[in-house]
Amino acid sequence: MTGLRYVYAVCRPFDAALQAQLTGVSGDPPRLLPHGGLVAVVSHVPEAEFSEGALRDHLEDLDWLTATARAHQQVVDALTAVTTPLPLRLATVFRDDSGVRVMLQEREADFRRTLDRLEGRVEWGVKVYVEAEPAEQARPERSAASAQSAPKPVSGRDYLRQRRRQTRATEDLWSRAEEFATGLHARLSGRADDARLHAPQNPRLSGAAGRNVLNAAYLVARDASEEFVEMVDRTKDDAPGIRVELTGPWAAYSFAGEAEGDRS
């Protein structure tokens, strides 16, 4: 059984070795498939799992998807440590090596252009969360009744005063968060070569506390990354009730897509 070829990324040739124990999706170690002046990073995957029908079914399976996504990311991550990879979307699969070579040849100009643009750069993710529970704002009567910290209102006027205070505090927090996120994004964009805004993450999947109000990616040169990270770190204590989360360095996933638009 030779299996299918799963492609993780396209890079320029590099000398460094990948981590010895690195395994790709389905447990096969990734290998380099050079063609022309480019290298595809591939591993063998079983047809039983990655044929069209099987893949369609598997993608509906959150456990399978999670394991595959993590394995994909791990290989791309290992590449990021030694070179500037152009990460491909999950589940890019070919029948055999020659299919991969044909693809490298056909897209060579695109790949080179994008690799030049990304050379020596990585992606940093920055998210801003508001830590208050917005549900309180949505249901005034219930939240007032359930708020443990606030003393029980003794009169209607008391109740209203409390409510107004809460509303004002929540409103203040939101507008501060908006201002904070806008300012932070402007500052970080100024330090980055490029930036992308992504849709805010759903807390039910991310498991993160609070409400995600900014979800951005920044393309930053490797040697400017330390400074970028310090800049993000410095903002972390700036605003009570607002949390800043940094992830990275990632391969430049969010900035790898333009090759397609350029083609037309």
Partner 1 sequence: MTTPSRLPDPYGQGQSANLADILERVLDKGVVIAGDIKINLLDIELLTIKLRLVVASVDKAKEMGIDWWESDPALSSRARHDELTRENAALRERLRELDPGRVPREAP
Q: CA-to-CA distance for 210 and 133, rounded, in angstroms? A: 7
Minimum distance from residue 189 beta carbon to partner 1 (Å): 17
Q: How many residues lie near partner 1 (CB under 8 A)?
A: 86
Q: Tell me which residues in 136-195 interact with partner 1 (CB under 8 A).
A: 137-138, 140-141, 155-157, 159-160, 163-164, 167, 171, 174, 178
> What residue has token string 């399978």?
64
Return the SS3 of 165. helix
Q: Which is nearer to partner 1, 30 or 87 (CB)?
A: 87
Per-position x/- string for 229-258, each x denoting binding to partner 1 as judged by CB under 8 A, each - no binding: x---------------xxxxxx--xx-xx-
Per-position x/- string for 59-98, each x denoting binding to partner 1 as judged by CB under 8 A, each - no binding: xx-x--xx--xx-xx---x---xxx--xxxxxxxxxx---
Q: What is the DSSP string of 14-80?
A: --SPPPTT---GGGPPPEEEEETTEEEEEEEE-HHHHSHHHHHHHHT-HHHHHHHHHHHHHHHHHHH
Minimum distance from residue 201 beta carbon to partner 1 (Å): 5
Q: Which is nearer to partner 1, 146 or 167 (CB)?
A: 167
Record the tokens describing residue 241, joined without a space: 């009730």
Q: Which is nearer to partner 1, 29 or 99 (CB)?
A: 99
Q: Which is nearer to partner 1, 150 or 213 (CB)?
A: 213
Pairing relationship of beta strands 31-35 and 93-94 according to DSSP bridges? unpaired
Beta-bridge mates of residue 214? 128
Measure CA 236 to chain center. Answer: 20
Minimum distance from residue 103 beta carbon to partner 1 (Å): 6
Q: Tell me which residues in 98-127 interact with partner 1 (CB under 8 A).
A: 99, 103, 107, 114, 120, 122, 125
Q: Which is nearer to partner 1, 81 or 186 (CB)?
A: 81
The helix or strand, by DSSP H or E, that contains position 197, with its residue range, turns out to be strand 194-197
Among 29, 143, 225, 243, binds partner 1 (CB under 8 A): 225
Dihedral angle sign, alpha carbons of residues 47, 50, 54, 58: positive
Rg (CA), the chain: 24
Dihedral angle sign, alpha carbons of residues 104, 107, 108, 113: negative
Q: CA-to-CA distance for 130 and 178, rounded, in angstroms? A: 9
36 binds partner 1, rule: CB under 8 A: no
Stretch that binds partner 1, among 27-35, 185-193, 205-213, 235-243 (CB under 8 A): 205-213
Closest CA to 188 of 242, 223, 225, 239: 225
Q: Which is nearer to partner 1, 28 or 77 (CB)?
A: 77
130 binds partner 1, rule: CB under 8 A: yes
Q: Which amino acid would we find at residue 212?
A: N
Among 63, 151, 199, 237, binds partner 1 (CB under 8 A): 199
